[in-house]
Amino acid sequence: MIKFTDIKIGDDVTFYALIENMQKRFTPNKSGYYGATLSDGDSSIDARIWDCSLIETKDVTAGNVYRFTAHVNEYAGKAQYVIKNIELVEDGEIDTSKFFKAAPLSKDELNKGIKSYLKKITNPILYKLAVNLIAKVAPEYFEYPAAMSMHHNYFNGLAYHIYSMLELASKFVQTYPGMNSDLLYAGVLLHDIGKTKELTGPKTPLYTEQGNLLGHIVIGLQMLANEAAAQNVENTEEYMALSHLIAAHHGELEYGSPKEPVIMEAFALHFIDLADSKMAPISAEVLKTKKGTSSAPIASLGRKSIYVPNIE
């Protein structure tokens, strides 16, 4: 499949690309056009679509893959893509999954891994709350990213984040006596459940209005409150403790938790979440970096780069 790096100034080309984002703009003389960022799965380009009807008569939207026809001009020393046509991709025409970044594990592997931990929960109240809540938003739970840009910002990212955290959690349970593993696993499984409504979709999402106004901690607490009321367990210690774990998982008020941890399992959840949200993007970047050099800037580290020592 043709890649952007194969295309030269002056070419007339047809290629497949994902519309990462797109906005209508206006020239000084008030005629409209669309500016878009297109991705071929490896790299991105900016493009202009002067003929708005290409977008507006075909329901072309950001987050999907299309077939483009374009001419490549030179503008200010750089290539400028002028889109001539946009066409829908028919079923089976190409494998569109290659246009989206995804977790190292597949949706099925993550589903199986996460379910194996769910089954370890023997407390019936915690089990039923976790099972039912996940079931209600299963498609989003297993397909959404964990964030727009900071960490696990790719297809399946949320489930991959949760699964890695469950793995660390099992080691914490072994190492620190006194931990209630049911509560910790339920907390890991549900701590980011609100993200299924905070984000608009599994691929290149934005924040929903609900996400902007309430955030995933509050949305998750609301979902749990309604589930607990439906199951008649709103006066149980389990519901109160699980609510605390969700509320406190950012660890400090200034990171958006309305209460700081005061339960052992809430501390464990916070440390595991913190570690995974940093280690996962570092790991991904280190794997792409040559020993003895520095990585690309990493968003979740405030755009710091990581140095990979030249050690066997």
DSSP track, 71-87: EEEEETTEEEEEEEEEE
In angstroms, give the least distance from the CB of 195 to a copy of itself.
14
Alpha helix stretches (DSSP H) within the chain: 53-56, 107-118, 124-136, 138-143, 157-175, 181-190, 195-198, 209-230, 237-248, 264-287
CA distances from 8 to 4, 13, 305, 309 (A): 8, 9, 31, 37
In angstroms, give the least distance from the CB of 234 to a copy of itself.
7
- Residue placing its CB nearer to a copy of itself in the complex, 194 or 205: 194
In angstroms, give the least distance from the CB of 242 to a copy of itself.
9
Q: Give the β-pairing of 78-88 and 44-49.
A: parallel
Cα–Cα distance measured from residue 61 to residue 49, given in angstroms and rounded to the nearest whole number? 13
In angstroms, give the least distance from the CB of 312 to a copy of itself.
6
- Residue placing its CB nearer to a copy of itself in the complex, 203 or 295: 295
In angstroms, give the least distance from the CB of 287 to a copy of itself.
5
- Residue placing its CB nearer to a copy of itself in the complex, 138 or 229: 229
In angstroms, give the least distance from the CB of 170 to a copy of itself.
8
DSSP track, 152-181: S-SBTHHHHHHHHHHHHHHHHHHHSTT--H
In angstroms, give the least distance from the CB of 154 to a copy of itself.
16
Q: Write the DSSP symbol of residue 305.
A: -
SS3 107: helix
Structure tokens that stand for 290 in this block:
């040559």
Cα–Cα distance measured from residue 278 to residue 290, given in angstroms and rounded to the nearest whole number? 20
- Residue placing its CB nearer to a copy of itself in the complex, 18 or 184: 184
Element (H, E) at 246: helix 237-248
In angstroms, give the least distance from the CB of 279 to a copy of itself.
5
- Residue placing its CB nearer to a copy of itself in the complex, 22 or 82: 82
- Residue placing its CB nearer to a copy of itself in the complex, 7 or 133: 7
Structure tokens that stand for 9 in this block:
């100034």
- Residue placing its CB nearer to a copy of itself in the complex, 30 or 92: 30
- Residue placing its CB nearer to a copy of itself in the complex, 111 or 170: 170
Cα–Cα distance measured from residue 186 to residue 135, given in angstroms and rounded to the nearest whole number? 14
Closest CA to 245 of 222, 219, 264: 264
The residues with which 38 forms a beta bridge, in sequence order, are 19, 45
Cα–Cα distance measured from residue 312 to residue 309, given in angstroms and rounded to the nearest whole number? 9
